[in-house]
Amino acid sequence: MYIQANQDGQLQTSDKIYVAGHSGLVGSAIVRYLEARGYKNLLLRTHKELDLTEQSEVQSFFNKEKPDYVIIAAAKVGGIHANNTFPADFIYKNMMIEANIINSSYENDVKRLLFLGSTCIYPREVAQPMREDALLTGVLEPTNEPYALAKIAGIKLCESYNRQYATDFRSVMPTSLYGMNDNFHPENSHVIPALMQRFHKAKCNNDSEVVVWGTGNAMREFLYVDDMAEAAIFVLSLSREIYDKNTQTMLSHINIGTGVDVTTRELAETIQEVVGYEGSLIFDTDKPDGAPRKLIDTSRLSQMGWSFKTDLKSGLQTTYDWYLKAL
């Protein structure tokens, strides 16, 4: 639908597209999107087949395969506990992954590259909704600072290669994502899979109540991952002229989100309804809410012609259906 002619030649279904991190939440959604539109020449490698932190392995892969387009959805990810426990791993491994792929893409004349980051790149105390130009204007959230710094470095790698070598390397920063292939680990999953699992277990056990941390008043934004995949390919497919017109040389990343937020109470109640749990919902107000609001400004992307399609309830229903099949 959005795959279109670009300045360097048309993106063809026969083009070699390397999707790094194809088995994760983000990468698998991008692969689904491309395969559904007839893209059959996708380059996919597991971590066992290709260690992206090893420069020599990445160079050998690129020298052999010569991809036309590259999408970096590979990253070492984790929750607050993991980030605090293994900060060196988070900064080192993520910087090695992006540096190796970006440099090999340049050396092998990749037509276009897309780097996927995270909205944790923005300062902890930042005006809402978060605009792209808030980058590097304040102190980062300490709990995931190493990960955020690595993602900022990825943006700046793309921009620096573009400036020095006239490459066409682009960056997008998705808001909080959810959907098929999400991490439902009981200890380190994000809020939607954690709540979904909690409500499901309460339903199965006939528990009388489910406790949710906080007041329920904190505002959060969530994007269904298949919408994110569509937006990512939309940005990758933009002509160089349109991309350059809507970005700046040293402020080139683009937010991807809905521009709509909900309270954590509304989120919990919607998940409760989707799961079909009929017990009571209790908010533990002694537990912290975190930031009062986290919402990104999506005007840059919407001005270029993209907006999200999947409302929260529909996306949660699809995710829960997938979760039940995966049990």
Q: Which residues are catalytic?
A: 147
- Phi, psi at 185, each rounded to 5°: -60, 135
| Residue 173 CB partners (closer than 8 Å, separation 6+) | 116, 117, 118, 119, 121, 132, 151, 253, 254, 255, 256, 296
In 37-86, alpha helices (H): 55-65, 80-85
Judge whether 131 and 257 are in contact, CB under 8 Å. Answer: no
| DSSP output for 204-215 | HHT-SEEEEES-
Judge whether 13 and 39 are in contact, CB under 8 Å. Answer: yes
Judge whether 196 and 275 are in contact, CB under 8 Å. Answer: yes
* Plot region of 118 (φ>0 → left; ψ -120 to 50 → alpha; else → beta): beta
Residues 10, 198: Cα–Cα separation, whole Å = 47
Judge whether 218 and 291 are in contact, CB under 8 Å. Answer: yes
What is the distance, to the nearest Å, from the Cα of residue 310 to the centroid of all Cα atoms in its chain? Answer: 16
* Plot region of 207 (φ>0 → left; ψ -120 to 50 → alpha; else → beta): beta
Residues 50, 19: Cα–Cα separation, whole Å = 12
Strand partners, 254: 172
Judge whether 10 and 237 are in contact, CB under 8 Å. Answer: no
Computed on alpha carbons and rounded to an integer, the radius of gyration of the chain in Å comes to 20
How is residue 43 written in tokens? 């380059």
| Residue 266 CB partners (closer than 8 Å, separation 6+) | none
